[in-house]
Structure 1
Amino acid sequence: MVNKGIVTKINGDTVAVKLYKSSSCSHCSCCSETNKMGSNFEFKINQKVELGDLVTLEISEKDVVKAAFIAYIFPPIFMILGYIVADQLGFSEMQSIFGSFLGLGVGFIFLALYDRFFAKKTIDEEIKVVAVEKYDPNACTNLAESCEDF
């Protein structure tokens, strides 16, 4: 997966990049830049960049699928396990439903702990900066002009 963004902050070897929204960038019609920008993203970098540079980031599809699996599959699995455990312990159906929500809460706690202690380190290792370019927001002044790079 490839994405582009603008360097907004540099702190030693850590940079903050304001990523483009993928859907907005795929078919640029030279709309205002604020409509195309997504969220801020911080990671470590070993290349020289300056504020305002346009960076192209790449992360393997395997890592994206792994992150999506952890974020979207683990909490429901814990929810189902919470129900099964409560049911096997002989609780009533209402108490088992409460157990499922308790399991969901445990799943979200697991997700928060994973994010805090493992995901940041993993992201720094998996993100690769493919290209660094000087960014010129005035490069696209003609609406008929193709703006595929921005």
Structure 2
Amino acid sequence: NLVLRTDVSGDPTFRELVGRVRETDLEAYAHQDLPFERLVEILNPERSLSRHPLFQVMLILNNQMATGVDVSTPQLDISEIYATHDAARFDLTFEFGQLDAAIGLRGGLTFADDVFERGSAELLAERFVRLLGVVVGSPDVPVGGVEVLVPGERWRVLEEWNDTAV
């Protein structure tokens, strides 16, 4: 696990943000052999039983496509399976995998049901897909200008929930 923080100050474009993330990642990879438990010990963050000490959201990218190499023998039959998670280890885990070059990426979201209701987690996933659609189509848009709210949600937040006359 690499714990990363991303600087979004100055309202960079998504293209600039990806550059910042790349630099942060490269610096982090230089220290990837440091055991995670040792990092927690060194940083000594404030502990809480309600959350992980360093991060609450994990992003996993499995970008190694299956090779299609058959290693089965008459005595041994081997096939790929895709595991599912029964319990969330973190508040949110976004996991993406490349199944084949034609499909691109497939993803999934695992969430802690003591932190999120299913509908809220699904809404976060929908917003994330909207975000990806915008920034892939327009990588030079400033991150602060990306609309992540689903249709009708902006009105509900600004008008319905903020109606001081009610």
Q: TM-score range by the shorter chain?
A: under 0.3
Larger strand fraction of residues = 1
Question: TM-score, normalized by length of structure 2?
Answer: 0.18
In terms of fraction of residues, the more helix-rich structure is 1
Q: Between Structure 1 and Structure 2, whose CA radius of gyration is higher?
A: 1
Q: Higher RCO, 1 or 2 (CA under 8 Å, sep at least 6)?
A: 1
Structure 1 length normalisation: TM-score? 0.19
